[in-house]
Chain A
Amino acid sequence: MRDVAIIGIGIIKFGELWEKSLRDMAVEAALNCLTDAGTDRADSVTIGCMSSGVFNGQEHLASLIPDYLGKNNIPATRVESACASGGLAVRNAYMEVASGLSDYSLAIGVEKMTDVSTGMATYALATACDRDYEAFHGITFPGLYAMLARAHMERYDTTREQLAQVAVKNHSNGALNPFAQYPFPVTQEAVLSSTMIADPLRLLDCSPITDGAAAVLLTTVEEAKKFKSSPMVIIRGVGSATDTLALSQRKDMLELGAVKKAVHRALKMAGKKIQDIDFAEVHDCFTISEILVMETIGIVKPGQGGPATIDGLTALDGKFPLNPSGGLKSKGHPVGASGVAQVYEAVSQLRGESGKRQLNNPKLALTQNMGGSGGSCVCHVLEVKD
């Protein structure tokens, strides 16, 4: 396999983008990416999108997006793995370039969620859990993670304040991100007094419903040497794994098996340990998710995620910053775009282009993107070349 670099990144401001269509958002992010790269060459494109069929009544994005991108003769693939669709799109583009099928491959993540009512959006998201054995019984995604939160609180004495601190920390980071949907700080009190959605999770424990898109352009390390405008970021490891779709079918619901395996595979391929990583963008679809993920990938021991968050381990100035972008919580969670947006942030930080939220000279980054209640996970290890 050939070594692969990321030479272009693009994103649009996340939010309720009533004036923008699904196709416009995807094309705008892609154009921003190609402009950043300094080339408009893409031999193939992969689109990560979870549910344009339900959200927009539009499938066949593998024709629509290259068409509106002005590249309607290139091979295109649309991938879906619920909220991990974006991470999977990057992985697919990686395979295109690593295998030699494409020299330049574009990955676009997109989701247009605000064209439907909240009830309909909740329904669309619930298609990512087991339709017949979970959603049929009236469970929602906040409900699934609420059950995990209750189990974690009862097993490890995790507190409501510790959960809230994840939202406080990520909003504090997101306040420095011009692309964030909710770029403002929130207080512990605001989180703890927000509307109850699914006990014990409240509104400000949940990532929002978001319109958004992001794109990255991949090529070989050899080709990437032609582009000298910004430091070269290399994909050192990719890892993907799956687990049971239904939460009830896991032997231990607090062990995110897919996340554990995906991170392990990505780190092993990169020849690195979790301690080598300078920062990570992780899948904080709910406050409890970030705590579960940091324990699962070995940043802290099981049960220590809450206390470590309170102690500032994962803050922007902490020893292991998580979600410098503001995460899904503050930046927004356009489900199919989030995995690509994580890679966008990782590259931006590694290049030293993250403005007010820039970390101090990071060299090695991890992205962790998961689908549903942890039924799938895609991770990447990225390194900036000196």
Chain B
Amino acid sequence: MNVPKHWRAIPERYRMEAGKCRKCGEISFPSRLICPACNHNEFDLVNLSGKGKLLTHTIIRTAPEGFGDFAPYAVGIVELEEGVRIMGQITDCDPEKLKTGDKLTSKFRRMNEEGKTGMIMYSYKFVPDIGI
């Protein structure tokens, strides 16, 4: 991944910036140019709370290129308080003990180093509210 590609993603990965439709109020993450609910095209940028609950998850044991050092790690789909659903890693916990419905909060974390460029990537990950 080159620098501009990473740079473009900073508002989403660092601040969880989403687009709220000015017509119907639907929140899209990532933000879009066309509202998937009503096809309107004007949005306000909002920062998501990062608080939500776990809908489903898995524990990755055979990892793709670039993630081998991290396995096993948990990845899940989290439904935020705003109704937005986001896929992300779940960290700072024993992944074996995660359960559907667990309350989670997003944290700003290091993802990995990008291949040959050596660029260190950061993003949101989720952490259970009750330590497990």
Chains A and B are bound partners: yes
Chain A residues packing against B (C-beta within 8 Å): 118-120, 122-123, 126, 132-140, 142-143, 146-148, 150-151, 154, 195-201, 244, 246-249, 253
Closest-CB distance, A48 to chain B (whole angstroms): 24
Closest B residue to A249 by beta carbon equals B85
- Tell me whether A253 and B100 are in contact in the complex, defined as CB-CB below 8 angstroms, given that A132-B9, A138-B60, A246-B87 are known contacts: no
Residues of B within 8 A of A137 (CB): 75, 87-89, 111, 123
Q: List 23 A-B contacts (CB under 8 A).
A: A120-B65, A122-B62, A123-B64, A126-B64, A133-B86, A133-B87, A137-B75, A137-B89, A137-B111, A138-B63, A138-B111, A139-B60, A139-B75, A139-B87, A143-B75, A147-B56, A147-B76, A150-B58, A196-B59, A198-B59, A198-B60, A199-B61, A200-B58
Shortest beta-carbon distance, A127 to chain B, in Å? 10
Residue on B nearest A250 in the bound complex, by CB: B85
Contact B60 A143, beta carbon cutoff 8 Å? yes
Decide if A253 touches B56 in the complex (CB within 8 Å): yes
Kindly list 18 other residue pairs between chains A and B, CB separation below 8 angstroms, not including A122-B65, A138-B64, A151-B100: A119-B63, A123-B64, A123-B66, A126-B64, A132-B9, A135-B64, A137-B89, A138-B75, A138-B111, A147-B56, A147-B77, A154-B56, A195-B61, A196-B61, A197-B61, A198-B60, A201-B58, A244-B36
Across the interface, name the chain A residue whose C-beta is closest to B125.
A137
The secondary structure that dominates the B interface is strand
**A51 vs chain B, min Cβ distance (A):** 14
Inter-chain CA distance A244–B37, complex, in Å, is 13
A134, B67: Cα distance in complex, Å: 13
Given contacts A136-B123, A147-B58, contact A248 B64 (CB under 8 A): no
A154 to B76 CA separation, bound complex (whole angstroms): 15
B62, A142: Cβ atoms closer than 8 Å: yes
Interfacial chain A residues near B43, Cβ < 8 Å: none
Determine the distance from Cα of A336 to Cα of B62 in the docked complex, in whole angstroms: 23
B85 adjacent to A248 (CB under 8 Å): yes
In the bound complex, residues from chain A placing their C-beta under 8 Å from that of B65 are 119-120, 122-123
Is B85's CB under 8 angstroms from A198's CB? no
The answer for the CA separation of A195 and B76 in the assembled complex, in Å, is 21
B55 at the binding interface (Cβ < 8 Å):
yes
The chain B residue with its CB closest to the CB of A246 is B87
Are the CB atoms of A140 and B76 closer together than 8 Å?
Answer: no
Distance A147 CA – B60 CA, assembled complex (angstroms) = 11
Within 8 A of A (CB), among B72-97: 73, 75-77, 85-89
Q: Which of B64, B85, B123 contacts A122 (CB 8 A)?
A: B64
Q: Are B89 and A140 in contact (CB under 8 A)?
A: no
Say whether, besides A137-B123, A143-B75, A248-B77, A198 and B56 are in contact (CB < 8 Å): no
Q: Which residues of A contact B123 (CB under 8 A)?
A: 136-137
Minimum Cβ distance to chain A for residue B70 (Å) = 7
In order of increasing CB-CB distance, the 6 nearest A-B pairs are A146-B58, A248-B85, A151-B56, A123-B65, A199-B59, A122-B64
Q: How far is the CA of A148 from the CA of B100 in the complex (A)?
A: 12
Q: Which of A198, A244, A253 counts the most chain B CB atoms within 10 A?
A: A198
Contact present for B87 and A197 (CB under 8 Å): no
Q: Roughly how many angstroms separate A10 CA and B56 CA in the complex, as a whole number?
A: 41
Q: A378 to B40: give the CA distance in the assembly, Å.
A: 30
Contacts of A122 in B (CB 8 A): 62-65
Check B62 against A247 for contact (C-beta < 8 Å). Answer: no
- Candidate in B9, B63, B111 with the most chain A CB atoms within 10 angstroms: B63
- Does B57 sit at the interface, judged by CB under 8 A? yes
Within 8 A of A (CB), among B12-58: 30, 36, 55-58
Please name the residue on chain B nearest to A206 by beta carbon. Answer: B62
CB contact between A154 and one of B77, B86, B100 (< 8 Å): that residue: B100
CA–CA, A120 and B55, complex, Å: 29
- The interface residues of chain A lying within 8 Å CB-to-CB of B76 are 147
Contacts of B111 in A (CB 8 A): 136-138
Residue B68 CB within 8 A of the other chain? yes
The chain B residue sitting closest to A125, CB to CB, is B64
> Which residues of chain A are near B66, meaning CB under 8 Å?
123
B77 contacts A247, C-beta separation under 8 Å: yes
Q: Which residue of B lies closest to A139 (CB)?
A: B75
